[in-house]
Structure formats: C-alpha cells, structure tokens
C-alpha cells in the first residue's frame, strides 16, 4: 500500500466529508432552529443535482448550472417552508417525519415523471476534466480538488456567518431560546424562512457539485440522508461545528474503510474470510463509529441535551 494511495483516499474522504458537511449543516441548522427533522432535505439535494444536470446539458456552462441549481432550489425551499414546514413545526416528531416523508415520496415521482427512471448524466466542466499533479507521484482529479476547495470556503463562510455576524447571533439566539428571541423583536417566521432557505441552498450546492461524480436518480436523497443523519448524530444536533466534525469523520471512515479494510483484513486473516467479511465491515464501519460515540456521549460530540 503506497503513500500515494493513502493520500488519494484521504483526499477522497475529505472531499466526501466536506460535501456531507454542506448537506449536514443545512439539516442541523434547520433542526437546531426550527426544531424539525426534515426528511425531505435529501430531496432538496436531489433537486439541486437534477437542475444542475439539466442546466449543464442545455447551457454547457458549469457555473451557470450550479448557480441555477442553487437559485431554483432556494425558491423550492422557500415554498416548502411556507406551505408545509411551518405547519409541521408545531406538531410532534411523528407528524414531522410523516409530513416530510410525504414530500420525499412526491418528489421522487415528480423527477421520474419529468426525467424518467434512468439515471441522468452530468458532464464534468471541460476545464476541470483532467487530473492535476499534486506531487510528483500523486495525481488527483482536478474536479475533486474544486469540490474540496469550495467545501472549505463554505465551511469558513458559515463559521464566519454564524459565529461573527449579527445574523449569526440571531440564529444562535433563535436556537437556544425561541420565545425570548421573539419577545426581543426578532421576526421569528422570517428567521425560520431564512434558515430553511440557507439549508436548501447548501444542499443544492452539494447536489450540483456531486452531480458529475454521482448517479443522479430518484431516491438519491434517501441514500445520502442516512449518512447525513449519522454525521449529525455523531456531531450533535444543532451544532455546525458538530456537523463538520461528524461529516468529516463519516467521510474519512467510510472512504478509508471501503478502501483499506478489506486489504487490512487480508493481512491478518485468511483471504477467503477477508474477502467475504471485508466489504461488510467496511459498509458498517460508520455505524459502528456512531454506536461507539453514542455509548459515551448520547447527545453526540458537541450536542446540547435534547
């Protein structure tokens, strides 16, 4: 196992983790502030991917595709919040689960109706289609580097926004004490709308950026939302820092697990055993991680007590 292979997998893990963070940040913010578990968040991610893919096919401009995806999904997110989410916020968790799941069901059939059941392909932006030499031996796809770059920029922006600005203070205040904020004149419904739309935009961005490297099809939201939830549970609901740590952990463990575990097992055990057990262990590695974190910290690493 060479150094370049390890480095490559670490970069893959970072890339995956950062994209998970984009989606997780939105979901954890929405949960922390609106106190709602939005299962349809994955559908917003899916919408971002579909819109970007369609826009890319029509305009051939990657930038336009991503921007359009973010804008369109922002609007969809706003509509969703105004029509449904705000009515679910006052209900119990079961109603929230079912209400947002209804959206998931409808969204999947809608994209099938519009684009058909076969996966959609999104081409890479021409300029970034090739690999880049990071070091003499290490070649890494330029596009994935872009993803990492954008991921880091967004993470820093969010940190700045939430931690250092007045809006961020409002968000944090809203998270910790809804009634107080509303009494102090914060326009809570507007804040909710804003946070929800922000979350939607982040999810759409992730969808648009992962579009070229993922299968764009109905149900993709439901696949990714599980990893997002694991990230949030590990990191602690309502915490952006937790979402980042959780997402990166999930990204690394999942990627590294799939890449290295089978080989690692082959070193220790009989190859036949390793090849049958290896993939299974790799698949469940993040859940084992989650279980371990929960045993010691039931509210996640940075979570407040629910």
Partner 1 sequence: MQAPDRSVIYGGLSLLILIVLPFIANALDLGFYISLVRRILIIGLAASGLNLLLGYGGLVALGHAAFVGLGAYVVAVCGIEHLYDAWLVWPLAVTVCAVTGLLIGAIAVRTRSVYFIMITLAFAQMIYYVCISLRKYGGDDGITMIKHSQLPMIELANEANFYYFVLAIAVVVLWLCERLMNSRFGRALQGIRENEDRMQALGYPVYVIKLLTFVLSSAIAGFAGVLLANQNLFVSPTMMHWTESANLIIMILVGGIGMRYGGMVGAGVILLLEEFLRLYTDYWHIPLGALLLLILFVAPTGLTGKWRSQSRRLVASEQSNP
H-helix segments, the chain: 3-34, 41-59, 62-80, 86-88, 93-115, 142-164, 166-176, 178-183, 188-210, 220-235, 240-268, 271-296
- Find the shortest distance in angstroms from Cβ 155 to partner 1: 22
- 175 part of the interface to partner 1, by CB under 8 A: no
Provide the 3-class DSSP secondary structure of residue 132: strand
Residues 68-87 that bind partner 1 (CB under 8 A): 84, 87
215 binds partner 1 (CB under 8 A): no
Per residue in 90-118, is it b (16+ CB within 10 Å) or e — as a string?
eeeeeebbebbeebbeebbeebeeebeee
Q: Name the 3-class secondary structure at 89.
A: coil
Q: Within positions 20 to 39, which residues make up the interface with partner 1, using CB under 8 A?
A: 31, 37, 39
Residue 218: name the closest of 124, 104, 122 by CA: 104
Is 193 a residue that touches partner 1 (CB under 8 A)? no
CB 26 to partner 1: min, Å? 15
Contact between 233 and partner 1 per CB under 8 A: yes
Site string for partner 1, 266-285 (x = CB under 8 A): ----------x--xx-xxx-
CA pair distance 221, 128, nearest whole angstrom: 26
Taking the C-alpha atoms of residue 267 and residue 159, their distance in angstroms, rounded to an integer, is: 42
* Sole binder of partner 1 in the list 71, 79, 113, 129 (CB under 8 A): 113
Which residues are at the interface with partner 1 (CB under 8 A)? 31, 37, 39, 84, 87, 91, 93-95, 97-99, 101-106, 108-110, 112-113, 219, 222, 226, 229-230, 232-233, 237, 276, 279-280, 282-284, 287, 290-291, 294-295, 298-300, 306
């Amino acid at each position: 196992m060479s150094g370049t292979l390890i480095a490559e997998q670490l970069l893959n893990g970072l890339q995956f983790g950062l994209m998970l963070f984009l989606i997780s940040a939105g979901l954890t913010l929405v949960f922390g502030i609106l106190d709602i578990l939005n299962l349809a968040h994955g559908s917003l991610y899916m919408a971002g991917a579909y819109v970007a893919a369609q826009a890319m096919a029509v305009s051939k401009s990657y930038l336009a595709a991503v921007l359009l995806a973010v804008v369109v999904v922002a609007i969809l997110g706003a509509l969703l919040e105004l029509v449904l989410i705000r009515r679910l916020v006052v209900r119990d968790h079961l109603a929230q689960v079912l209400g947002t799941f209804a959206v998931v069901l409808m969204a999947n059939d809608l994209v099938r109706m519009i684009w058909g059941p076969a996966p959609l392909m999104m081409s890479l932006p021409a300029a970034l289609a090739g690999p880049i030499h990071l070091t003499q031996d290490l070649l890494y796809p330029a596009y994935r580097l872009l993803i990492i770059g954008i991921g880091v920029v967004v993470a820093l922006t969010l940190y700045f926004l939430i931690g250092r600005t007045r809006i961020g203070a409002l968000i944090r205040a809203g998270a910790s004490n809804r009634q107080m904020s509303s009494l102090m004149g914060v326009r809570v419904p507007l804040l909710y709308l804003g946070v929800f739309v922000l979350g939607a935009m982040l999810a759409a961005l992730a969808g648009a950026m992962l579009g070229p490297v993922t299968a764009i099809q109905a149900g993709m939201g439901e696949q990714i939302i599980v990893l997002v939830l694991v990230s949030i549970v590990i990191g602690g609901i309502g915490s952006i820092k937790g979402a980042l740590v959780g997402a990166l952990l999930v990204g690394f463990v999942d990627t590294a697990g799939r890449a290295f575990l089978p080989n690692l097992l082959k070193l220790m055990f009989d190859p036949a055993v390793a090849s049958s057990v290896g993939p299974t262990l790799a698949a469940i590695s993040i859940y084992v991680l989650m279980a371990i974190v929960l045993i010691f910290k039931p509210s996640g690493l940075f979570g407040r007590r629910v």
